[in-house]
Chains A and B, each alone.
Chain A
Amino acid sequence: MPPNSAGAGIDRRQFLRLSAGSAAALSLLAATSQLSGCTAAAPQAAPGYQFLTLDDLQLFTALLPAINGPALPADNAELHVATLQRLDLACAGLGAPAQAELRKLLGLLHWAPLRRLAAGIRTSWAQASTADAEAFLRRWHNSRLELFNAGYRALTKLGSLAWWSQPASHAAAHYPGPPAWAVSALNS
């Protein structure tokens, strides 16, 4: 399916709007009833998390390397958890309307028929490869549909904040951190 027909199979008018920003959002007009099993209010956050569910953790585990590229070390479990935790804190800090919209977006990506049609991911997120996740991001980046662009922006904003805010990322950005003399003077 070419990127520009990413909405095929879904009545475009069913999407009222998608809002991202910090987070994201998909308001489904007519499709609300179709999605009522997977966008039930306040799903259970994963243990140790405030916003992200176990399903969300699998989704972002697939997306984080695709969002950040090789600068994010692949085989560092501790770093991976730290990145997911920062992502969770960013989601938890959003206002209620933005959280609701983000929850709808994630609900869409978890619902298998829409995950296949809209995101082009044929496996579960747990089984999706980085290449699959990259193809999904490319499709939503290139799409002519505003709501997919908005979803792209929301997911990449959260995913890049979670990694590039960590001191462990500074070397990859050639970022020296705050001036050492000032840090030393302020903390002396």
Chain B
Amino acid sequence: MAMINDLYTDGIASGWKVRDASQLSSDTTLEADVVIVGSGAGGGTAAEILTAAGLDVLMLEEGALYTAADFKDMDEFRGYGQLYQEGAGRATSDGAVSIFQGRSVGGTTTINWTTSLRTPEKTLQHWQQDFAVSGASAADMAPWFEQMEQRLGVAPWAIEPNRNNSLLRDGCEHLGWDWKTIPRNVRGCWNLGYCGLGCPTNAKQSMLVTTIPAALRRGMTLLHHARVESLQYEKGRVSGLRVQALDASASKPTGTTLTVRARHYIVAGGAINTPALLLRSRTPDPKGLIGKRTCIHPVNLSVARFEQPVAGYHGAPQSIYSDQFLWPQQGVGYKLEVPPLQPVLATGLFGSFGAQLSADMATLDRIQVCLALMRDGFSNDVDGGQVRIDNAGNPLLDYDISDSLWDGLRRGFLSMAELQFAAGAQSVRPSHLDSRDYRSWSEAKAAIAEFPYRKQRVSLYTAHLMGGCAMGEDPKRCVVDSHGRHHQIENLSIFDGSIFPTSIGANPQLSIYAFIARNASKLVETLK
């Protein structure tokens, strides 16, 4: 009854050029007008715009191609293993912050939770003032946001939020705090709650089902299982890409090496893999800026137990947020949201083991979880981390947490506990190894004040990678110009979240879509 149209099976049958590099057995050279490295929010958006202008585009993706047909089981183990960087096991170099980042055709858009918010006006102003980003005021950007919102079906969630989200709203209501309904990039959503494991109904308007199919219809070639090892330079320009074919599991090189030549090169591998690729390639970087100021919206969480079922594993994962604390007079601001609560995702939040973990998990259906997303990168004492590479060229992200950032995380714990008790929680446990279930707001408040704030004591996560190749007009401070063109290399653009000079202060996908739509449209003018 509910056959979900498998876009790719039909598309490939009708002649789409989708190629699997693991199947290639001899070294070869590929040519195109433009090559795009990466198929996420940046690469996908650029592909549609460039092919619409009649350009011959080649898209490279190191991950595999999985489609709705693969997502029907809504199974966490399958989803994390298939669709995430390092099987969802990626972390900062010291292991203190877990990193959720996509790795398949569609990139993180295939596994994100669909929250689609515009770049806050204050963030745009900050970039204009501190990084000389030009042509990116709220008025300049509005048409690009509108264009991408229309393209991807972005609209405030019109169905009643699931209880995990409605309790966030209730707590805010009781306290007189700001809250809003989240716009989501979905069409015909079944309200299932498994966005993070790949959308089984094609409702999520990810790059996998929107811009990439559109580009394929216009003749783009998509080559997956293809890892770009390096950009090669000659006479101050990119002269080619060296690409390794990966085996069927998309983990080990098969030994087949491809060379790619194009007029223009777009790197869109995300804010960890893009800086790492540029560093591996010894990209000219006179001021040593590549990989610096990598922002991650560090997230801490708070687990509340309610008497009545919450069932946070079902229903749209994110539909309510609060910006009550996003722009404080002093210190780091944070946004309040909730995560989905399937079992594996929940285990890490409790911090417990053994009999206690068994007991905690037995209450999975009654927990509500808040998260506080820190707006990092806006001050000298909270200026992000650094992407570097090891001897083999693998990316590593170093991320230190300053006293100011710890202070933000501490205030985040306080806000979340206050909100959860206001919403009627029986108990609240901040996600910290020294924590336990607190029975009242005053008890929680006292405990949170006394926690040691050190790495590994606090459970920290990120799903938002931004920066490392900052945009702006000053080459002494920025890697690319205000439209993503590299300051030193004329035929190289960076079209992903790594161009943001700070974090966004909102879930970044719509910011990436809008900026890349703007930048790719500008690029088209110069390539025609």
Contacts and interface: CB of A to CB of B under 8 A. Distances in A.
Interface of A: 17-25, 66-72, 86, 89-90, 92-98, 101, 134, 137, 141, 146, 149-150, 152-154, 156-157, 160-161, 164-166, 169-170, 172-175, 177-179, 182-183, 185-188
Interface in B371-412: 390, 392, 394, 396
A106 B133 CA distance: 48
Contacts of A96: 390, 392, 394
Interface in B329-347: 342-344, 346-347
B86 interface: yes
Interface of chain A, main secondary structure: helix
Given A68-B354, A70-B358, A160-B348, 4 more contacts: A21-B92, A22-B98, A93-B87, A160-B357
Contacts of B194: 178
Name, among A25, A93, A98, A150, the residue most crowded by chain B CB atoms within 10 Å (CB to CB): A93
Given A69-B355, A95-B394, A178-B194, A18 B314 contact: no
B422 interface: no
Contact of B95 (A18, A66, A69): A18
B268 to A, nearest CB: 20
Contacts of B348: 157, 160
Contacts of A23: 89, 91, 95
A7 to B, nearest CB: 14
A172 B361 contact: yes
Interface string B1-21: 110100000000000000000
B495 interface: no
Interface stretch (B41-49, B74-82, B174-182, B478-486): B74-82
Given A94-B89, A164-B347, A150 B81 contact: no
10 contacts: A19-B96, A21-B99, A67-B354, A134-B354, A149-B456, A150-B95, A172-B361, A174-B365, A178-B74, A185-B1
Which 7 residue pairs are nearest across A and B when measured between Cβ atoms? A21-B91, A22-B89, A93-B87, A20-B95, A69-B358, A19-B95, A149-B456
Contact of A188 (B1, B87, B89): B1
B32 interface: no
B433 interface: yes
B200 interface: yes
